[in-house]
Amino acid sequence: MLSAAFGTHAAQEANDQKQMVDYFADNGFGNPLALVQAPAGIHENGVTYLTYQGTLEDPYVVAYNHNTGEWQGPIKAGFSELGKDNYWAPSGRPIDNHGKPTMIIDDLGYIHIFFGGHGGSARHGENPLGDVHDGKNKHIVSKKPYDISAWVELDNIPPFGNYNQAVKMDNGDIYLFYRHGAHESDWVYQKSTDHGRTFEAPISFLKHKQREDIEAVDSWYAWATKGNGDDIIITYDYHPCWSIHANNGRGHTTERHNAYYMVFNTKTGKWSNIEGDTFELPVTRELANEKTLVLDTGEKWTFNGSVHLDQNGYPHIGTNIGVDLGVKKTGGPKQTSHIRWTGEEWVGGTAVNPAAVNWGVDTRGDFFITSPTDITFALGYKEEGEGVVAYFNSKDGGETFEKQKELLRKGQSGWAMSAMITNAHPDARFFVAEKPKGEKEWRNLYLLGDNGAVMRAQEDADIRVK
């Protein structure tokens, strides 16, 4: 239930008397958001619910009522074993950032959040599907439907998860996708048929294994979402996890390559590629290259993005592509690029914001599709040192993009971006965290839509001083 005031016009009248700001909270911690943890926001019954990594990497939740203009929260919803100066996280360690929360709302209205894992730890036992690193993957659920005020922890998923993604099907079944451990681990999914109260055992769909030609282990980064009907659609890229002294002495880097796409029919249990060819799980590197390859990026590095279907049922993929500078462990700047299926072939792969290529800066973001030829990306990037979030629109199916509307600009800042909010209201399509130059920990968070930022009273948004 929502509070009594959370449904009246009293909130809007009160806001008229207060100093308003364009951020809704100031306690984002480290990298509070990422596309890979999705969804982090859901719009349902006129309310947008958001979750993010807050103080000491714990999950926080807010809710915004579009009819009244009232905010609720932030509320600390759970306890993460990452980011603590205690038994779970020794003093002096950097912010981990891998346990950011993911949200889903079941058919009964209960809000579920998955968070806190970076592969799990040896203290939780042996990982049967990979290696371990730190943290503990957790699952919490609201005590009441559509109510963010109180939460309970459920012990029904393995502790070894990382990069949680939740998908709810039309029949109410919930699928949880994640990497079952640290880098050298399978990607798996688990199914719940009782509104997330229990989950079936993990099933591997992407296989990690030692390569024979180089000192590296096949690894992956995936992004899953609901497709049409009974389908779940998945895009992913390939990560060679180099041994510590291999790779010409560089050891492990964030090197990733290519773009892939596949479909999981949850009714039949069949997995297939874009052309309908089926295959058995788990998918290996060899099978991925043979059956599901969308774009071979060669020597260029990637950073996996998202996938959405257009009105013809054809997938569009957003992925970041850049070059390896040969020095940085993270490679060079990567540009958000658009790829789509025409019904006959994959086309695209060029940068959405071509100017950023010349500036040598990263761009990152998600997109929504108005028609098969009308695509809008929301990108965060730097322009002459200033942090900008803007829409870039294509009217020709992604062949060209133009900057359409600037939504937010902050001096000397970078951005952490969420994926698009599920069933988004036009005024609240996604949210971002500002990373001011020189600030190592704290981030302001902004809820953005077609009209820019959703405002909030400063006395409610400034919670770190309370």
Place of tokens 């829409």: 391
Query: What's the pLDDT at 361?
Result: 82
Give tens-digit pLDDT for 400-412.
999 999 999 999 9
Mean pLDDT value of segment 437-457: 95
- Specify the length of the chain in residues: 466
Place of tokens 């103080």: 55
363 part of a folded domain? yes
Does residue 95 contact residue 83 with C-beta atoms inside 8 Å?
A: yes
- DSSP per residue, 151-179: EEEE--S-TTEEEEEEEE-TTS-EEEEEE
Domain with 31 in it: 20-461
What backbone phi and psi angles, to 5 degrees, belong to 105? -115, 125
Give tens-digit pLDDT for 105-120.
999 999 999 999 999 9
Query: What's the pLDDT at 440?
Result: 87
Sheet with 59-65, edge to edge strand ranges: 41-44, 47-53, 59-65, 71-76
Domain count, the chain: 1
Residues 6+ apart with CB under 8 A from 440: none
Distance CA 337, CA 300 (A): 13
The proportion of the chain whose per-residue pLDDT surpasses 90, expressed as a percent, equals 85
6 part of a folded domain? no
Task: Tell me the C-alpha to C-alpha distance, in Å, between residue 61 and each of 16, 105, 151, 287.
Answer: 24, 13, 11, 40
Predicted confidence (pLDDT) at residue 98 exceeds the cutoff of 50: yes
10 part of a folded domain? no
Model confidence at 2, in pLDDT bands (50, 70, 90)?
very low
Distance CA 32, CA 58 (A): 10
- Which helix (H) or strand (E) segment is 26 a member of? strand 25-29
Give tens-digit pLDDT for 265-304.
999 999 999 999 999 999 999 999 999 999 999 999 999 9
Place of tokens 């025409």: 342
For residue 285, the SS3 value is: helix
Model confidence at 5, in pLDDT bands (50, 70, 90)?
very low
Does residue 456 contact residue 24 with C-beta atoms inside 8 Å?
A: yes
Counting Cβ atoms within 10 Å, is residue 112 exposed (0-12), middle (13-18) or buried (19+)? buried
Cα-based angle 198, 202, 205 (whole degrees, multiple of 5): 140
Select which of 163, 178, 381, 446 is catalytic: 163
Mean pLDDT value of segment 344-365: 89
Select which of 49, 60, 98, 261 is catalytic: 98
Mean pLDDT value of segment 175-180: 98
Q: What are 401's two structure tokens? A: 């993009």
Mean pLDDT value of segment 76-86: 85
Query: What's the pLDDT at 248?
Result: 85
448 part of a folded domain? yes
Mean pLDDT value of segment 206-231: 97
CA-CA-CA-CA dihedral for 235, 403, 323, 301, to nearest 10: -10
Does residue 263 contact residue 197 with C-beta atoms inside 8 Å?
A: no
Place of tokens 């998945």: 234
Distance CA 337, CA 305 (A): 9
Model confidence at 360, in pLDDT bands (50, 70, 90)?
confident
- Give the global pTM: 0.94
Query: What's the pLDDT at 85?
Result: 60
Does residue 380 contact residue 389 with C-beta atoms inside 8 Å?
A: yes
Predicted confidence (pLDDT) at residue 9 exceeds the cutoff of 80: no
Report residue 244 CA to chain centroid gap.
Answer: 28
What backbone phi and psi angles, to 5 degrees, belong to 355? -60, -35
Model confidence at 1, in pLDDT bands (50, 70, 90)?
very low
Model confidence at 90, in pLDDT bands (50, 70, 90)?
low
Mean pLDDT value of segment 182-202: 98
Sheet with 187-192, edge to edge strand ranges: 161-168, 174-180, 187-192, 203-206
- Which helix (H) or strand (E) segment is 14 a member of? helix 10-15
Distance CA 349, CA 358 (A): 17
Find out whether the peptide bond into 426 is cis, omega within 30 degrees of 0: no
Lowest mean pLDDT among 80-94, 307-321, 337-351: 80-94
466 part of a folded domain? no
Q: What is the CA radius of gyration of the chain?
A: 21
Closest CA to 164 of 81, 251, 103, 93: 103
Predicted confidence (pLDDT) at residue 132 exceeds the cutoff of 80: yes
Does residue 232 contact residue 223 with C-beta atoms inside 8 Å?
A: no
Q: What is the mean pLDDT of the chain?
A: 93
Does residue 425 carry a catalytic annotation? no
Query: What's the pLDDT at 325?
Result: 79
Distance CA 249, CA 235 (A): 31
Distance CA 323, CA 340 (A): 22
Distance CA 365, CA 41 (A): 15
Predicted confidence (pLDDT) at residue 11 exceeds the cutoff of 80: no
Distance CA 412, CA 263 (A): 41
141 part of a folded domain? yes
Query: What's the pLDDT at 384?
Result: 87
1 part of a folded domain? no
Q: How many CA atoms lie within 13 A of 381 on its CB side?
A: 31
**CATH code assigned at 449:** 2.120.10
Compute how many other C-beta atoms are within 10 angstroms of the C-beta atom of residue 200: 11
Mean pLDDT value of segment 391-417: 96
CA-CA-CA-CA dihedral for 172, 282, 270, 41, to nearest 10: 30
Predicted confidence (pLDDT) at residue 91 exceeds the cutoff of 60: no
53 part of a folded domain? yes
Does residue 163 carry a catalytic annotation? yes
Predicted confidence (pLDDT) at residue 330 exceeds the cutoff of 80: yes
Mean pLDDT value of segment 26-33: 96
What backbone phi and psi angles, to 5 degrees, belong to 325? -80, -10
